[in-house]
C-alpha cells in the first residue's frame, strides 16, 4: 500500500508531539513493506529516506520579508504567505506540494493528515472543488489536538483572528474528511460534543516504539512531569498541589521537563509565571526543578530515574508521555481527562487515575509516595503488560491497515458539500422554473462603463464553458460613450448577447431584472468592469452539478487597476458571514436558488445588496463554496460606487441587514459580539485568515515607510527637540502607522 502522511512537525530527535506518532507509525508501515511518504513542515527543502520504505519530504514555509523587489501580490515569491497568515498559507502550500508530487509519482492509496492547525484544509477544499488529481484518493483526518478544543483550556481568547479562523478550518477538516480516526475515546467524544454532531470517529491507540526492558527502581522520590509547560497540561494545579503537600511536610521533588508556552491572560509565558510565583520552591527549597525540552534518549533516561510520572492534564489527547512511562515500567498518576486514563484502565492496578474536580489528586500522590519499592516494581510490571498489550505495534498495525482498506473500498464522491455550521431548513414555497438545462445566463449590470465593457464581454466569451448567453442590463446610462458602445454591440447582433434598457433604478433592480430575463439553468453575475478567467464558469458549474446543497460558487479574486492585491475567499459560513462579507459579487448560482432565496432587495439601495442576498440564501438552506484559485479579476476604480461610499453609509446598510435578519443575529449574538469585541469593527476587516493582512498589512507597511522618512527628515528632527512638538508628532506618527 502507498500511504502519504501530512504533518506540521518534522520527525526529529526531540521527544513527544505529533512527530513522534508519525515517525513511529511510518516505520511500522515501512517494515511491513508499505511505501510511506511523510510530507512535513521543515526548515530545509529535503527528500530523504529515514527508514526502510519511508521517505521524508520537507516543505519550507516562506517569509515575505525575505524578498525585495517590485512584485505583484499574485506573483510574489512568498505567495500565499504575503496575503495569508502562517497556518492558512502553510495549508495552501502543502496542498500544492501534494498536487505537484501527484503529477510525477505513483498515486497514494490514501492520504492521512492531522486536523491540528488545519494542515489538510486546502487539500480537502481542492478535492471537494473537483481537483481531478485528488478525485480517487481518500483523505483521512487523524484527530490529535484541535486548537478549538485546547484553546479553551489554555485560556486563550477564542474569537481573535486569525486563531479563530484556524479553529474554523480545523472544524472543516473534520467535517470534510473521507474518514475520521482518533487515538482515544476521550478526544473523539470531546470533539463530537464541541461540534454538536454525531460524527463517526474510529479510535485506534498509538503504538509504542520502546522495547521492553527491566524496570529501574530509583533511590529518590523524584516525581516527573514531562511535556510542554502549558495551561491545559495541568502544570499549574500540579505545582499548587505539590506546594500544599510540601507545606504539610511531605518530602519529594517535582521535576518539570519541557518547552514553554504562552499564558495569555497573564501576558507572559507559563514558565515565567512559574519561576515568578514559585521562586521560593525553586531557588530556596529546591523542591521544584524546571528543565528545558530534551532529546528523546535523554528523556528516556530521566523517566527511568523517576519514582513516578504525572500526567495532570485538564484536556489531553493520547500522550506519548504515558506510553513511554508505562513502557518503561513507571507508576503513572494520570488525570481522567484524556487517553492516558484509557491506557491505565484499572485505577490502582496498572497505575493511578485522579479527577481534578473531585479533589483526589493529593490523596493519590500520597498513596504513590508511600509505596514500597517492591510495590512500585509490581505496579510498574502491570503497567508494562497493559501498555504492551493495548499499544502493541503489531495489533495497532493490523487494525490500522484493516481500516485503511475499508476506507479505500468505501470511498465515493460526496453529494452534499460539508459545512461547519448547521444549515437551516428552507420553509418557504420553492418555485420551479422552466430553464434550459446546462445553459449559463451571465447578467452584467451596466451603468456608464463604456470604456470597459468590451473587455469584460470578451473575457466571458473566451470561457471554456461555451453554452452561455450574456444579458446586459443598461441601468439608464447617460454617458454618450457608454450609450454608443451598447449601440455598437446591438449592431453586431451576436446571438449570445442581449441588451435590456431600463431607467436608472440602481444595482439591485438591475441584477433582478437581468435574472428574470435569463433562460439558463445556471446564473452568473459579472460586474461590467471586471474580468473572468476562462476556466471559472466551467469549474463553478461542475461544483454546482456535483452537490445537492450548493447554491452558489465563487473564487479567489485578484484586484487590479488603481490597487493590486489578492483577496482569498472562503466557504460562506455563519456566524462570520453575518459580520463581514466573504463573497465576491462575480459568482455562479443555480438559477432557482437565486430566484427563490437571493433576489436583491430595494432596501439595500446604497449597496451591499449582493452581500444581503448571500446571507438570505444561507439563511434559507443554501451553501456557498469558494474555489481556492484566482479566477476573477476585480477592477479597483476610485470612482466606483463602493469606494465613493462613506462609513456612515456602510453602517446604515449593516443596520438594514440586521433588521432584515433579526433572528439570525439573535441566534449568533454572543459569537458576533466576541468576534467584533476582539477584532474591532467588522466593516474594517479584510478576510478571516487575519485582521491585519492583505490590504491592511500593506497599508501598515506603507505607513511605516512614511514614518521612517518623516523621522529622518532634518527639519523634523529639529522640531522634535521641542517637548510639545514631540508629543504632538507622536500622535501624528501613530495615526499614520
Q: Which CATH number belongs to the domain containing residue 376 in this structure?
A: 3.40.50.2000
Distance of CA 55 to the CA centre of its chain: 27
Per-residue pLDDT at 624 exceeds 50: yes
The tens digit of pLDDT for each residue in 538-549 reads: 999 999 999 999
Average the pLDDT over 375-386 and give the result.
Answer: 96
Residue 409: CB partners within 8 Å, gap ≥ 6? none
Residues 510 and 473: their CA atoms lie apart, in Å, by 6
Asked whether residue 215 is domain-assigned, the answer is: no
Backbone angles phi, psi at 32, to 5 degrees: -90, 5
Q: Write 54-57 long-range contacts (CB < 8 A, 24+).
A: 54/26, 54/27, 54/29, 54/30, 56/10, 56/11, 57/97, 57/101
What pLDDT score was predicted for residue 701? 44
Per-residue pLDDT at 103 exceeds 50: yes
Per-residue pLDDT at 3 exceeds 90: yes
**DSSP state string for 182-207:** ES-HHHHHHHHHHHTS---EEE-PPP
Residues 18 and 115: their CA atoms lie apart, in Å, by 11
Determine which of 59-73, 100-114, 206-220 has the lowest per-residue pLDDT on average: 206-220
Q: Point out the domain boundary residue: 335, 370, 391.
A: 391
Determine which of 117-126, 210-219, 405-414, 606-615 has the lowest per-residue pLDDT on average: 210-219
Asked whether residue 412 is domain-assigned, the answer is: no
Asked whether residue 160 is domain-assigned, the answer is: yes
Asked whether residue 237 is domain-assigned, the answer is: yes
Contact, 210 vs 189, CB < 8 A?
no
Residues 9 and 12: their CA atoms lie apart, in Å, by 8
Residues 587 and 537: their CA atoms lie apart, in Å, by 9
Q: Write 365-372 long-range contacts (CB < 8 A, 24+).
A: 365/223, 365/241, 365/242, 365/245, 365/310, 365/333, 366/245, 366/250, 368/307, 368/308, 368/331, 368/333, 369/221, 369/250, 369/252, 369/307, 371/331
Is the domain of 254 the same as that of 169?
no
Asked whether residue 425 is domain-assigned, the answer is: no
Determine whether 69 is exposed, middle or buried from the number of CB atoms within 10 Å of its CB (0-12, 13-18, 19+): exposed
Is the domain of 669 the same as that of 701?
no
- What is the residue whose three cell numbers read 452561455? 468
Buried b (16+ CB within 10 A) or exposed e, 552-564: bbbbbbbbbeeee
Contact, 444 vs 526, CB < 8 A?
yes
Backbone angles phi, psi at 109, to 5 degrees: -75, -30
The tens digit of pLDDT for each residue in 705-723 reads: 555 566 667 777 666 677 7
Runs of H (alpha helix) within 449-492: 450-461, 480-492
Runs of H (alpha helix) within 620-693: 647-660, 662-667, 669-679
The tens digit of pLDDT for each residue in 104-149 reads: 999 999 999 999 999 999 999 999 999 999 999 999 999 999 999 9
Residues 355 and 341: their CA atoms lie apart, in Å, by 10
The tens digit of pLDDT for each residue in 306-362 reads: 999 999 999 999 999 999 999 999 999 999 999 999 999 999 999 999 999 999 999
Is the domain of 480 the same as that of 562?
yes
**DSSP state string for 521-565:** EEEEE--TT-EE-TTHHHHHHHHHHH-TTEEEEEEEEEEEES--E
How many domains would you assign to the chain?
A: 4
Per-residue pLDDT at 445 exceeds 90: yes
Residues 663 and 671: their CA atoms lie apart, in Å, by 14
Is the domain of 373 the same as that of 446?
no
Residues 311 and 313: their CA atoms lie apart, in Å, by 6
What pLDDT score was predicted for residue 218? 84
Compute the chain's Rg from CA coordinates. 30
Per-residue pLDDT at 729 exceeds 70: no
pTM of the predicted structure, to 2 decimals: 0.91
Asked whether residue 336 is domain-assigned, the answer is: yes
Residues 394 and 375: their CA atoms lie apart, in Å, by 30
Is the domain of 260 the same as that of 375?
yes
Contact, 311 vs 339, CB < 8 A?
no
Residues 208 and 393: their CA atoms lie apart, in Å, by 6
For Cα atoms 716, 722, 727, give the angle at the middle one, nearest 5 degrees.
80
Query: Could you give the maximum distance between any two Cα atoms of the chain, in Å?
Result: 101
Is the domain of 700 the same as that of 667?
no
Average the pLDDT over 238-256 and give the result.
Answer: 96
* H or E segment and range at residue 575: none
The tens digit of pLDDT for each residue in 495-514 reads: 999 999 999 999 999 999 99
Strand 262-263 with 268-269, pairing: antiparallel
What pLDDT score was predicted for residue 640? 58
Average the pLDDT over 5-29 and give the result.
Answer: 86
Contact, 58 vs 46, CB < 8 A?
yes
Residue 589: CB partners within 8 Å, gap ≥ 6? 522, 523, 524, 525, 544, 551, 552, 553, 598
Q: Which CATH number belongs to the domain containing residue 648 in this structure?
A: 3.90.550.10
Residues 132 and 539: their CA atoms lie apart, in Å, by 11
Asked whether residue 208 is domain-assigned, the answer is: no
Predicted confidence band at 294 (pLDDT cuts at 50, 70, 90)?
confident
Residues 226 and 254: their CA atoms lie apart, in Å, by 11
Per-residue pLDDT at 247 exceeds 70: yes
The tens digit of pLDDT for each residue in 43-62 reads: 999 999 999 999 999 999 99
Average pLDDT, the chain: 92
Is the domain of 173 the same as that of 295?
no
Is the domain of 631 the same as that of 667?
yes
Strand 468-475 with 436-446, pairing: parallel
Full 3-state SS string of 352-407: EEECCCCCCHHHHHHHHHCCCHHHHHHHHHHHHHHHHHHCCHHHHHHHHHHHHHHH
Average the pLDDT over 179-187 and give the result.
Answer: 97
Is the domain of 467 the same as that of 613?
yes
Residues 205 and 386: their CA atoms lie apart, in Å, by 12
The tens digit of pLDDT for each residue in 574-622 reads: 999 999 999 999 999 999 999 999 999 988 888 899 999 999 999 999 9
Residue 111: strand pairing partners: 4, 139
Is the domain of 60 the same as that of 191?
yes
Is the domain of 604 the same as that of 655?
yes
Is the domain of 196 the same as that of 279?
no
Residues 124 and 119: their CA atoms lie apart, in Å, by 10
What pLDDT score was predicted for residue 683? 85
The tens digit of pLDDT for each residue in 450-487 reads: 999 999 999 999 999 999 999 999 999 999 999 999 99
For Cα atoms 264, 575, 91, give the angle at the middle one, nearest 5 degrees.
65
Contact, 227 vs 316, CB < 8 A?
no
Three cell numbers at 666? 439573535
Q: Is 108 in a helix, a strand, or coil?
A: coil
What pLDDT score was predicted for residue 428? 87
Dihedral sign for Cα atoms in the order 682, 684, 688, 692 = negative
Q: Which domain holds residue 279?
A: 222-391
Residues 46 and 55: their CA atoms lie apart, in Å, by 10
Read off the DSSP letter of residue 227.
S
Q: Point out the domain boundary residue: 145, 176, 203.
A: 203
Asked whether residue 310 is domain-assigned, the answer is: yes
Amino acid at each position: 500500500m502507498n500511504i502519504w502522511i501530512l504533518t506540521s512537525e518534522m520527525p526529529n530527535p526531540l521527544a513527544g508531539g505529533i512527530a513522534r506518532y508519525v515517525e513511529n507509525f511510518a516505520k511500522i508501515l515501512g517494515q511491513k513493506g508499505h511505501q510511506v511518504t511523510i510530507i512535513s513542515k521543515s526548515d530545509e527543502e529535503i527528500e530523504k529516506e529515514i527508514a526502510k520504505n519511508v521517505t521524508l519530504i520537507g516543505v519550507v514555509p516562506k517569509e515575505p520579508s525575505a524578498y525585495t523587489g517590485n512584485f505583484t501580490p499574485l506573483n510574489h515569491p512568498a505567495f500565499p504567505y504575503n496575503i495569508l497568515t502562517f497556518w492558512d498559507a502553510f495549508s495552501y502550500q502543502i496542498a500544492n506540494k501534494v498536487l505537484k508530487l501527484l503529477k510525477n509519482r505513483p498515486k497514494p492509496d490514501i492520504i492521512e493528515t492531522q486536523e491540528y492547525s488545519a494542515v489538510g484544509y486546502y487539500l480537502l477544499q481542492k478535492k471537494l472543488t473537483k481537483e481531478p488529481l485528488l478525485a480517487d484518493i481518500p483523505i483521512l483526518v487523524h484527530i490529535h489536538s484541535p486548537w478549538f478544543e485546547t484553546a479553551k483550556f489554555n485560556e486563550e481568547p477564542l474569537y481573535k483572528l486569525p486563531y479563530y479562523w484556524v479553529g474554523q478550518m480545523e472544524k472543516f477538516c473534520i467535517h470534510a474528511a473521507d474518514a475520521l480516526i482518533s487515538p482515544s475515546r476521550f478526544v473523539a467524544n470531546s470533539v463530537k460534543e464541541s461540534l454538536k454532531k454525531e460524527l463517526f470517529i474510529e479510535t485506534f491507540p498509538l503504538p509504542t516504539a520502546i522495547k521492553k526492558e527491566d524496570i529501574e527502581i530509583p533511590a529518590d522520590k523524584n516525581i516527573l512531569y514531562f511535556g510542554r509547560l502549558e495551561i491545559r497540561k495541568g502544570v499549574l494545579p500540579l505545582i499548587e498541589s505539590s506546594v500544599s503537600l510540601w507545606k504539610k511536610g511531605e518530602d519529594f521533588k517535582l521535576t518539570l521537563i519541557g518547552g514553554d508556552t504562552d499564558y495569555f491572560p497573564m501576558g507572559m509565558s507559563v514558565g515565567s509565571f512559574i519561576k515568578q510565583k514559585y521562586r521560593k520552591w525553586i531557588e530556596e527549597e529546591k523542591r521544584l526543578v524546571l528543565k528545558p525540552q530534551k532529546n528523546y534518549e535523554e528523556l528516556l533516561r530521566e523517566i527511568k530515574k523517576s519514582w513516578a510520572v504525572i500526567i495532570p492534564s485538564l484536556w489531553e489527547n493520547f500522550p506519548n508521555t504515558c506510553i513511554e512511562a508505562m513502557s518503561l515500567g513507571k507508576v503513572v498518576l494520570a488525570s481522567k481527562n484524556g487517553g492516558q486514563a484509557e491506557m491505565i484502565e484499572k485505577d490502582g492496578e496498572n497505575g493511578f487515575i485522579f479527577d481534578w474536580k473531585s479533589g483526589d489528586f493529593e490523596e493519590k500522590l500520597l498513596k504513590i509516595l508511600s509505596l514500597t519499592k517492591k510495590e512500585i516494581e509490581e505496579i510498574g510490571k502491570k503497567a508494562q503488560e497493559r501498555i504492551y498489550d493495548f499499544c502493541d505495534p503489531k495489533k495497532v498495525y493490523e487494525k490500522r491497515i484493516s481500516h485503511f482498506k475499508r476506507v479505500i473500498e468505501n470511498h465515493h464522491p460526496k453529494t452534499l458539500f460539508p459545512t461547519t455550521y448547521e444549515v437551516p431548513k428552507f420553509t418557504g414555497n420553492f418555485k420551479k422554473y422552466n430553464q434550459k438545462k446546462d445553459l449559463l445566463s451571465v447578467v452584467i449590470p451596466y451603468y456608464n462603463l463604456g470604456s470597459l465593457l468590451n473587455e469584460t464581454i470578451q473575457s466571458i466569451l473566451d470561457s471554456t464553458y461555451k453554452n452561455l448567453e450574456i444579458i446586459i442590463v443598461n441601468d439608464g446610462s447617460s454617458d454618450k460613450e457608454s450609450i454608443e458602445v451598447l449601440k455598437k454591440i446591438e449592431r453586431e447582433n451576436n446571438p449570445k448577447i442581449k441588451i435590456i434598457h431600463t431607467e436608472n433604478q440602481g444595482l439591485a433592480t438591475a441584477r433582478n431584472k437581468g435574472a428574470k430575463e435569463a433562460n439558463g439553468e445556471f446564473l452568473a453575475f459579472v460586474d461590467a468592469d471586471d474580468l473572468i478567467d476562462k476556466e471559472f464558469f466551467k469549474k463553478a458549474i461542475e461544483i454546482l452539478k456535483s452537490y445537492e446543497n450548493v447554491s452558489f460558487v465563487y473564487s479567489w479574486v485578484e484586484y487590479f487597476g488603481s490597487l493590486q492585491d489578492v483577496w482569498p475567499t472562503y466557504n460562506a459560513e455563519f456566524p462570520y458571514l453575518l459580520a463581514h462579507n466573504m463573497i465576491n459579487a462575480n459568482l455562479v448560482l443555480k438559477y432557482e436558488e437565486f430566484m427563490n432565496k437571493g433576489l436583491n432587495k430595494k432596501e439595500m439601495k446604497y449597496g451591499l445588496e449582493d452581500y444581503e442576498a448571500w446571507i438570505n440564501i444561507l439563511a434559507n438552506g443554501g451553501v456557498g463554496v469558494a474555489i481556492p484559485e484566482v479566477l476573477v479579476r476585480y477592477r479597483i476604480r476610485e470612482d466606483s460606487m463602493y469606494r465613493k461610499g462613506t462609513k456612515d453609509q456602510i453602517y446604515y446598510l449593516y443596520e438594514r441587514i440586521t433588521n432584515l435578519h433579526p433572528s439570525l443575529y439573535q441566534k449568533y449574538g454572543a459569537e458576533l459580539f466576541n468576534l467584533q469585541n476582539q477584532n474591532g469593527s467588522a466593516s474594517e476587516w479584510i478576510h478571516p485568515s487575519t485582521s491585519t493582512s492583505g490590504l491592511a498589512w500593506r497599508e501598515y507597511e506603507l505607513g511605516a515607510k512614511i514614518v521612517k522618512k518623516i523621522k529622518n527628515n532634518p527639519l523634523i528632527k529639529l522640531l522634535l527637540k521641542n517637548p510639545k512638538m514631540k508629543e504632538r508628532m507622536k500622535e501624528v506618527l501613530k495615526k499614520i502607522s
